[in-house]
């Protein structure tokens, strides 16, 4: 079984790519488990990690809602996110999605889905993120600043 340990797989908790499941981020006790940063894909997670912007948990959607491309909520890792919030202990969900039409559509959808959890604050990145901007193209300072100055959705 030694070989399997080194194989890259998908974390069943957050959806990121790692050699262990749960991944090293999900299983890190020093991270703040009450905050979940929602990102579109793994490269955005890595961009945030490089910026050392936050020491929280993540949730990787695996894309954005895009009706024109036939991508609906069931095609993304959204129901697992709801499960994680529902299981308790989450105080804040940060929607760190790209400032694209699809990203914002996705953010609105998730915000609606989370509305029933009254004790969970939903925030998004401040407008340091340029319109149409993709997170993984931002420099680390801008990204960290956008996260720190996040606003309530
Ligand atoms: Zn994980």
| Span 55-110, pLDDT tens digits | 999 999 999 999 889 999 999 999 999 999 999 999 999 999 988 889 999 999 99
Any idea of the CA torsion for 62, 66, 70, 76, to the nearest 10 degrees?
A: 20
18 occurs within a structural domain: no
Indicate whether 132 belongs to any domain. Answer: yes
Domain annotation covers residue 102: yes
Tell how far the Cα of 139 is from the centroid of ligand 1, in angstroms. Answer: 24
Q: Which of 121, 125, 77, 73 is nearest to 99 (CA)?
A: 125
* Alpha carbon distance 97, 77 (integer Å): 14
Q: Which CATH number fits the domain that encloses residue 130? A: 3.40.1360.10
What is the distance in A from the centroid of ligand 1 to the CA of 119?
A: 23
Residue 125 banded pLDDT, cuts 50, 70, 90: confident
Q: Name the domain count of the chain.
A: 1
25 located within any domain: no
In a domain, 108, yes or no: yes
CA distance 74 to 63: 11
**Stretch 121-143: mean pLDDT, rounded?**
76
In a domain, residue 16? The reply is: no
Does residue 138 register a pLDDT over 80? no
Print the domain residue range for 128. 30-148
pLDDT, tens digit (0-9, with 9 covering 90-100), for 36-62: 999 999 999 999 999 888 899 999 999
CB-based neighbours (< 5 A) of ligand 1, an ion: 11, 13-14, 22-23, 26
Q: How confident is the model at residue 129 (pLDDT cuts 50, 70, 90)?
A: low
12 inside domain = no
């Amino acid at each position: 079984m030694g070989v399997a340990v080194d194989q890259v797989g998908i974390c069943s908790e957050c959806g990121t790519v790692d050699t262990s499941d749960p991944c090293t981020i999900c299983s890190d006790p020093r991270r703040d488990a009450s905050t979940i940063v929602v990102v579109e894909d793994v490269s955005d997670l890595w961009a945030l990690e490089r910026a050392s912007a936050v020491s929280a948990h993540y949730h990787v959607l695996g894309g954005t809602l895009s009706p024109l491309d036939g991508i609906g909520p069931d095609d993304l890792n959204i129901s697992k996110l709801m499960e994680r919030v529902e299981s308790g202990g989450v105080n804040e969900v940060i929607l760190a999605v790209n400032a694209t039409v699809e990203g914002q559509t996705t953010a609105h959808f998730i915000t609606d889905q989370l509305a029933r959890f009254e004790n969970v604050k939903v925030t998004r990145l401040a407008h340091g993120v340029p319109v149409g901007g993709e997170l993984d193209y931002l420099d680390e300072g801008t990204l960290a600043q956008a996260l720190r100055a996040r606003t309530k959705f």
